Structure 1
Amino acid sequence: MRARPLALCGLLSALAAALLILGGVLPGMVFCAPILAMGVLLPVLEEWGPKAAGTSYAAVSILALLLAPDRETAFVYLFFGWYPILRPKIAALPSRPLRVLARLAVCSAAAVLLYGLALRLMGLTEEIAAWYVNALLLAAGNAVFLLTDATLARLTGVWHWKLKKHLYR
């Protein structure tokens, strides 16, 4: 009975890794590929829970770091790919403003950590752009993150409604 979940987790993890590798090849896919990879792993989370999803996320992150031609794509997935596992906890918060603030805090913390670490490792600790340019980029990133969250919510709904209906007849 464990063969089916294991096979599906492996197949979806391979698809997510392939999307991340493809994201490094196609121009402009640096941020799209990690979002698609997050969506691909949603069935693992919904069917077998956070432990299986965390294992798939870790495997895909390692594969992306080893195989992706564009390191930024792999690192964006490494820093943001765990969010679908956290998403149900944030969705359970009592008020809508609190949920939005939690989502923005998660996105901002991950983005500042990711790009702060990247700039420090590259030795670019001086100010690269004016503070307002960085604030504008962070605001745009937060807007994209909120759209990603809404997309993940809709994809989860599709999985529950249509795919489960047809797969488990």
Structure 2
Amino acid sequence: MLNPPFRPALGHNDLIKDALERVRELMPWDVRDRLERQAAVILLDVREPAEFAAVHMPGAISVPRGVLEQACDWDYADTVPALAAGREREIVVICRSGNRSVFAADVMQRMGFTQVFSLKTGVRGWNDFDQPLVNEAGDTVDADTAERLLASATLRPEQRRPAAKA
């Protein structure tokens, strides 16, 4: 068995940069304009279920990143028919800040989706642009509450990069 050629390890930011060579991004105002022009746009939120329940864009569907591939294809327990049948539909992929959505959009393009975009700045940018957000019950979430719900978590000491050894 041949060993694959050595490739240096890539970090999270390197992977995003690589995916952005293939993925098209839209700013929040671009998404707002698309939604005003056509109701057929699919808003696909790839955050975790608890994140989605707390605050999301009205009309978005929740498909956590971990089940995306199955949701986009037929014959799986996680299949979402609108996605599986929507390879030609315009789809805006959403996450909290615009990183997970880039990865998800990249995978969807590889799966044959032709009109998939990532929402640059994510739900946080949507909120900063003063666009509507709702919670799981469909109640409006005001911008200040949304900002608190969308804030980055504080890193614990063990999650930080170890200090370089001298």
TM-score in same-fold range (> 0.5) = no
More helix by share: 1
- Bucket of the pairwise TM-score, normalised by the shorter protein: under 0.3
